[in-house]
Homo-oligomer: A and B are copies of this chain.
Amino acid sequence: MHTDVYMSELKDRGYRATGKRRDILEYLLQHNRYISARELIEAMKEKYPTMSLETVYRNLRTMRDEGIIEESRFEDNESKYRIACQTSHHHHYICIACGNTMVIDHCPMPSVGSVPKGFVVLQHRFEVLGYCETCAPKTKAEGMVDEIAKV
């Protein structure tokens, strides 16, 4: 549904509408959170048993470069991706356990005051990290207090 809009946008830019690309996109659209390449290939294997991780990476890179998805990194050494929000500009609460995101309807940029002389602003990042309602109890149950302190 929504996926089609993105796919035709990609087609307009010279990319082809492959099933795998479409399904990666759809998976990202259906899950409102940051997702790793590893999770994606796992999900794709059901439908495409021989699909390779390289294809996932290549498609993620393409879509990131086209501004369709966003890449970020949290506690681990792996990148995670989510659909770039097309709605009005906002930021996210992010669960570092499951990648789940919730909207922060506040942007700090208007309040930062004057930019340093000569500094060219390209981008900004405002993320509030923690555990979501589902993951918070689990971490306590498993005695991950040290983990929490560390992050």
A contact set with B: CB distance below 8 Å:
65, 73, 77, 79, 93, 95-96, 102, 104-106, 108-109, 111-113, 115-134, 136, 148, 150-151
Contact = CB atoms under 8 A, between A and B. Distances in A.
Contact of A119 (B105, B123, B132): B132
Question: Which 10 residue pairs across A and B have the least CB separation, nearest first?
Answer: A118-B133, A108-B108, A121-B130, A122-B130, A120-B131, A123-B129, A120-B136, A124-B128, A125-B127, A126-B126
B118 A111 contact: no
Contacts of A108: 106, 108, 111, 126
Among A79, A115, A116, A118, chain B packs the most CB atoms within 10 A around the CB of A116
Contact of A123 (B109, B123, B151): B151
* Interface majority SS (helix, strand, loop, mixed), chain A: mixed
Contact of A130 (B79, B123, B127, B133): B123
A131 to B, nearest CB: 5
A79 B151 CA distance: 15
Contact of A93 (B104, B116, B132): B116
A131 B120 CA distance: 5
A133 B151 contact: no
B115 A132 contact: no
A137 to B, nearest CB: 8
Given A65-B150, A106-B108, A120 B124 contact: no
A119 B133 contact: yes
